[in-house]
Amino acid sequence: MTEQSATADQELPVIARFEVRRRSYLAPDGKVLRQLPAFAADANVLRSLYRGMVLTRTFDLKAVSLQRTGRLGTYAVSLGQEAVSVGVASAMREEDVIVPSYRDNGALLWRGMKMEEILLFWGGDERGNRSSGPAHDLPYCIPVGSQAPHAAGVAYAFFLRKQPRVAVCLFGDGATSKGDVWEAMNFAGVWKLPVIFVANNNQWAISVPLKLQTASETLAQKAIAAGFAGEQVDGNDVIAVHAAMADAIADARAGKGPRLIEALTYRLSDHTTADDAGRYRPAEEVQARWKEEPIARLRSYLVSQKVWGKSDEEELVADCQQRVEAAVERYLAVGPRAPETMFDYLYAELPRVYASQREELKRNRHGRSDG
């Protein structure tokens, strides 16, 4: 650059400035960093969030052991990210719609999906996705990021019908590299739709670290180009996640448009049970991140406030284990489906040409080949 053009640049007016804020309340050791939001004064609310996270972890770890013993298919663990799932879902209302990714087990549990249903889905049976959660919720999205336009479409339906409802879309850091997420945010910005995008930034997309995913300083700032605010929260601080979501959802419900919440966390587990994270990241890194995990953090705070004690903890752990074991028993007791049921929900009404294929399947199953 010549001296002359440098001077000219300095005279160009700044036409826009942006900022991204970061929200956190609890330090990794549970110490309070700044004044807590009002809801945190209610110990019952915090204990409820804590229970949700512990149940999620208990369930996740059991799911892994089921997979390791051949009783479950590939499973995406949310170890270390429980505060994102629970903080997000706990800020929603029943009539809102969650649009989840494949790792949001804790959020779906909170929304009312039963543990045996989650296991049934990952155990290879679509019946799990019938879900006892809200009937309008979307199921797990397996392809990365392609659920984001659905969330915008869901929010558009609320907008058109003038319903005070909000769509909440969860995806990972990897998904923010996809056009799907951008296209959805862009549309949501144009129409000021009631949708909250949650980027669960666990910093690894299988083996690809965030720095190879984007040169953007934060993921939250990706909202700015779409014309709405993005906020980064400490995703291991469930109070921060819940508070950020409660604010964003209240604004969206009031017609103030979308928001992007980047929840900065860390994937303490392998990507899924089919992955070996030891191939691409050092154990020391993971070890260090264990010091920041969300469950111990909230427990430290609750203990410091004298609203949680050893007997509470023992009772909770036993209760979670008992509930998970009971759910596993119910899951393992689910009987097989008749194979021809694979046709049952292909269309509202099965076209006659496929009805004959269903009969063919039945005949084949009974060992009578049709030719």
Partner 1 sequence: MAEVTLVEAITLALARAMDEDPNVVVLGEDVGVNGGVFRATAGLQQRFGADRVIDTPLAELLISGLCVGMATQGLKPVGEIQFMGFMYPCIDQLVNHASRIRTRTQGRLSCPMVLRTPYGAGIRAPEHHSESTEAMLAHIPGLRVVTPSSPERAYGLLLGAIRDPDPVVFLEPTRIYRAAKGNVEDDGEALPLDVAFILREGRDVTLISWGAMVKETSAAAEELAADGIDAEVIDLATLKPYDEDAVLSSVAKTGRCVIVHEAARTGGFGAEIAALIAERGLLSLLAPVVRVTGYDTIVPLPRLEQEYMPSVGRIVAAARNACQSG
Residues carrying an active site annotation: 267, 271, 280
In 3D space, the residue among 9, 31, 20 whose CA is nearest the CA of residue 305 turns out to be 31
| Cα 68 to Cα 64: distance, rounded to the nearest angstrom | 6
The DSSP H or E segment spanning 240 is helix 238-253
Q: How far is the CB of 160 from partner 1 (least distance, A)?
A: 6
Nearer residue to partner 1 within complex by CB, 146 or 300:
146
Q: In a 3-state reduction of DSSP, which class is residue 192?
A: coil
Laid out side by side, the sheet with 195-201 consists of: 21-23, 230-234, 259-264, 195-201, 167-172, 97-99
Cα–Cα distances in angstroms (integers) from residue 12 to residues 2, 6, 264, in the given order = 16, 10, 35
CA distances from 274 to 64, 82, 115 (A): 10, 20, 21
CB of 116 to partner 1, least distance (A): 15
Beta bridge mates, 259: 196
Taking the complex as a whole, how short is the minimal distance between the CB of residue 171 and partner 1, in angstroms? Answer: 13
CB of 158 to partner 1, least distance (A): 8
Nearer to partner 1, 166 or 320 (CB): 166
Q: 142 or 288, CB closer to partner 1?
A: 142
- Report which of 98, 233, 230, 103 is spatially closest to residue 172, judged by C-alpha positions: 103
Residues that bind partner 1 (CB under 8 A): 97, 99, 126-127, 129-131, 135-136, 138-139, 142-143, 146, 148-160, 167, 179-180, 183-184, 186-187, 190, 342, 344-348, 351-354
The nearer residue to partner 1, 176 or 269, going by C-beta atoms, is 176
Shortest separation between residue 133's beta carbon and partner 1, angstroms: 10
The least distance separating partner 1 from the CB of residue 249, rounded to whole angstroms, comes to 18
3-state secondary structure of 349: coil
Of 22, 15, 18, 23, nearest in space to 224 by CA:
18
Closer residue to partner 1 (CB): 126 or 340: 126
Contact 290, 98 (CB under 8 A): no
Nearer to partner 1, 149 or 230 (CB): 149
Task: State both tokens at 316.
Answer: 């909770």
- 172 bridge partner residues: 200
